[in-house]
Amino acid sequence: MLRIEGLCAGYGEIQVLTDVKLDVGRGEIVAIVGANGAGKSTLLRTIMGSLAARRGTVRFEDASISGLPAHRIAERGIRLVPEGRRVFPNLSVEENLLTGMYLAPRAESARRLQRVFALFPVLAERRRQLASTLSGGQQQMLALGRALVGEPKLLMLDEPSLGLAPKAVEEIFLTLAELRGVDSGILLVEQNARKALALADRGYVLEQGRVALEGRASDLGSDESVINAYLGGNA
């Protein structure tokens, strides 16, 4: 579904990513883990087109998306749930969700809303409430729901557990497990490496902008030498 080869990217004179190679297959959950500053968020921004690659290729469903603007990449079926949630605070829950359906036929709106409300009943209860009044966990559910109403082929998440209470983290990860499907894929950047690797099918460890290790998530997550060498020991 997604194939990246030789990807280099950065900001100004600073190169963050160097020769990154990565792929995501249909139905897979793939985790990207690594220490702070390893380049995880930069990788997602480059895939999404909000940061231009300096070199390398990004292909999605056998077509190059390198150099396309973010809205064209979204049209291809890729959605990013950014770090920090970034919901529209002065819009209601339902209005936030509707912004995620700007590409969908109007007749689809009710069905797509109901799917998200089934996944997150608390959002249905608060559909008229301003997003700014929600808890952090509820805002993360809303950000995820806003991506899901677009029915993405590839869902990318940047640090979905950041700043959330343990109960909210559990709810988010249970939902991600439910979303594992035959035709869609999930690319997950997550500070909680153990939790991410427990959920994922495969994993990549980034270190200073390079892929240091890759393999089955269960193998990476159970290898204490990997945790200690690349993820800070307590990840």
Model confidence pLDDT, tens digit, residues 55-90: 999 999 999 999 999 999 999 999 999 888 789 999
Which string of b and e fits 194-225 if b means at least 16 CB within 10 Å?
Answer: bbbbebbbbbbbbbebebebbeebeebbeeee
pLDDT score for 230: 65
Q: 165 lies in a domain?
A: yes
Q: 190 lies in a domain?
A: yes
Q: 68 lies in a domain?
A: yes
Q: 101 lies in a domain?
A: no
pLDDT score for 229: 67
pLDDT score for 164: 86
Q: 138 lies in a domain?
A: no
Domain count, the chain: 1
Q: What is the CA radius of gyration of the chain?
A: 17
Mean pLDDT of the 95-119 span: 87
Q: 115 lies in a domain?
A: no
| Tokens 């056998």 found at | 62
Q: 63 lies in a domain?
A: yes
187-234 residue pLDDT tens: 999 988 889 999 999 999 999 999 999 999 999 988 877 777 666 654
Give the pair of three-digit tokens for residue 53. Answer: 């690659």
Percent of the chain residues past pLDDT 90, beyond the cut: 73
Confidence of residue 181 (pLDDT cuts 50, 70, 90): confident
Side-by-side strand order, sheet with 202-207: 78-81, 154-158, 185-189, 29-33, 202-207, 210-216
CATH number at residue 195: 3.40.50.300
Tell me the residue range of the domain where 203 lies.
Answer: 2-85+152-230
pLDDT score for 234: 47
Whether 126 shows a pLDDT value over 80: the answer reads yes
Q: 215 lies in a domain?
A: yes
Whether 100 shows a pLDDT value over 50: the answer reads yes
Confidence of residue 35 (pLDDT cuts 50, 70, 90): confident
